[in-house]
């Protein structure tokens, strides 16, 4: 059910720790650029870190205050020991905050403050052959690393098994997206579904998604005003709940905890040599939905316009939290090309439920 799905997402960290305690390795992931297929093929649970409120004065002292809070919250979890069950942590080089997090953790490890191994997965977002070759080499390094961390080789059989599991999960996510666009599933529930798929064992995520969709099939979506969400990737579900509490439904989004996940296609198969498989993974990410920190403003504006169109949104809302400036750069072109009224909330006001409710009402009136 939807309540069970939400609860499982809230408890994802403790559930992952239980998986590790059972003897299955768990590898943490920060960012969208790390292919979960390789982690799963090495026998590990791919556990994408969703920040939880826990920042401290110490994290501010180490990383500084002028950094996106998402990175500080991950650092706080590492320092608190609540991620000690991880066999290692793979960090995308997709945002400046993630890069700072990686080098901070590397230095803390060098000083003996933490024991967890970390690796940067550097995927350059330029679709040209030299870049593709560089990105393949980076994934080759990741392949070797996850085998070392799990003490398990990636084999043809393990790739087949991982590919089948992830394909089944994506099938349910695609069904959930279709339900949402048909006003039979709320945006908050969809967000929970994406998070379950990125943090829980495949079979558990599938069961939760199916149960939530079965419960929601005959129910109306939370609100009658469809909104497309852009801006910062949410730290939790508070922004979604505020939007939907104001009588709207989030029918689509372009941040990397939502619909763009489905644009990064799994390989069509795994019966090929390693380089060919890695090439397909690289090209899939390069040609997936553009992210604000690594794509042109024109590409972002076009992707948002298309997302608004296919989702049937009547308003565009941008939520940009402090020290996550890249999404704000996109706004002028995004809003000009959206084809629907748009509003941006930025800085400390961005996550204020009252300001969000007022923005939803303004969009409703303008539409």
What's the whole-number mean pLDDT along residues 340-344? 97
**Residues 6 or more apart whose Cβ sits within 8 Å of residue 82:** 13, 54
Average pLDDT of the segment spanning 114-122? 96
pLDDT of residue 222: 73
pLDDT single digits (tens) 282-326: 999 999 999 988 889 999 999 999 999 999 999 999 999 888 888
Q: Quick one: average pLDDT of 186-190?
A: 94
User: What is the reported pLDDT for 135?
Assistant: 95
Contact 187, 222 (CB under 8 A): yes
Q: Per residue in 347-360, is it b (16+ CB within 10 Å) or e — as a string?
A: eeebbeeebbbebb
Residues 37 and 167: their CA atoms lie apart, in Å, by 10
In this prediction, residue 60 carries a pLDDT of 79
pTM of the model: 0.94
Q: In the prediction, which pLDDT does 351 show?
A: 83
pLDDT band with cut points at 50, 70 and 90 for residue 221: low
Do β-strands 225-231 and 315-320 pair in parallel, antiparallel, or remain unpaired? parallel
pLDDT at 217: 62
Tokens of 301: 């504006």
pLDDT(55) > 80: no
pLDDT in tens, 120-174: 999 999 889 999 999 999 999 999 999 999 999 999 999 999 999 999 999 999 9
53 band by pLDDT with thresholds 50, 70 and 90: low
Confidence of residue 175 (pLDDT cuts 50, 70, 90): very high
Give the separation between CA 265 and CA 36, rounded to whole angstroms. 12
pLDDT at 68 over 90: no
What tokens appear for 203 in the block? 């079979």
Let me know the angle formed at the C-alpha of 83 by 82 and 86, rounded to the nearest 5 degrees. Answer: 150
Give the confidence band of 54 by pLDDT, cuts at 50, 70, 90.
Answer: low
d(CA 357, CA 243): 6
Under 8 Å between Cβ of 115 and 86 = no
Residue 58 has pLDDT above 90, yes or no: no
How large a percentage of the chain has pLDDT more than 90?
A: 78
Q: How much is the pLDDT for 220?
A: 54
- The pLDDT value recorded for residue 159 is 96
Distance CA 325, CA 59 (A): 20
Please report which residue ranges of the chain form alpha helices under DSSP H.
2-10, 12-21, 36-41, 57-63, 69-80, 96-110, 129-150, 156-181, 187-199, 202-216, 238-245, 274-286, 297-311, 326-337, 353-366
- Mapping DSSP to helix (H, G, I), strand (E, B) and coil, where does residue 119 land? strand
H or E element, residue 116: none
């Amino acid at each position: 059910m939807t309540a069970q799905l939400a609860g499982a997402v809230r408890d994802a960290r403790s559930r992952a720790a239980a998986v590790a305690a059972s003897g299955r390795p768990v590898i943490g992931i920060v960012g969208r650029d790390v292919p979960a297929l390789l982690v799963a093929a090495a026998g590990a649970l791919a556990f994408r870190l969703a920040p939880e409120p826990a920042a401290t004065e110490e994290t501010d002292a180490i990383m500084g205050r002028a950094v996106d809070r998402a990175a500080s919250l991950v650092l706080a979890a590492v320092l608190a020991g609540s991620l000690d069950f991880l066999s290692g942590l793979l960090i995308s080089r997709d945002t400046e905050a993630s890069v700072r997090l990686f080098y901070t953790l590397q230095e803390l490890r060098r000083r003996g403050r933490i024991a967890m191994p970390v690796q940067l997965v550097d995927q350059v977002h330029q679709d040209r052959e030299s870049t593709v070759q560089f990105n393949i080499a980076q994934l080759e390094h990741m392949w070797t690393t996850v085998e070392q961390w799990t003490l398990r080789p990636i084999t043809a059989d393990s790739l087949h098994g991982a590919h089948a599991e992830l394909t089944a999960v994506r099938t349910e996510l695609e069904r959930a997206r279709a339900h949402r666009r048909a006003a039979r599933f709320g945006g908050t529930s969809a967000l929970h579904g994406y998070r379950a798929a990125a943090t829980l064992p495949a079979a558990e995520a599938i069961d939760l998604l199916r149960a939530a969709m079965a419960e929601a099939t005959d129910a109306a979506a939370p609100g009658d005003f469809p909104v497309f969400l852009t801006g910062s990737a949410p730290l939790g579900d508070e922004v979604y709940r505020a939007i939907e509490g104001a009588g709207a439904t989030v029918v689509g989004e372009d941040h990397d905890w939502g619909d763009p996940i489905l644009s990064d296609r799994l390989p069509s198969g795994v019966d090929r040599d390693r380089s060919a498989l890695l090439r397909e993974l690289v090209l899939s990410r390069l040609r997936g939905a553009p992210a604000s920190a690594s794509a042109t403003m024109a590409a972002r504006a076009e992707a948002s316009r298309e997302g608004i169109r296919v989702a049937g949104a009547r308003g565009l809302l941008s939520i940009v939290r402090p020290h996550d400036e890249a999404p704000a750069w996109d706004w002028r072109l995004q809003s000009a090309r959206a084809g629907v009224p748009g509003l941006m909330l930025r800085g400390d006001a961005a996550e204020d439920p009252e300001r969000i409710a007022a923005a939803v009402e303004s969009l409703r009136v303008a539409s």
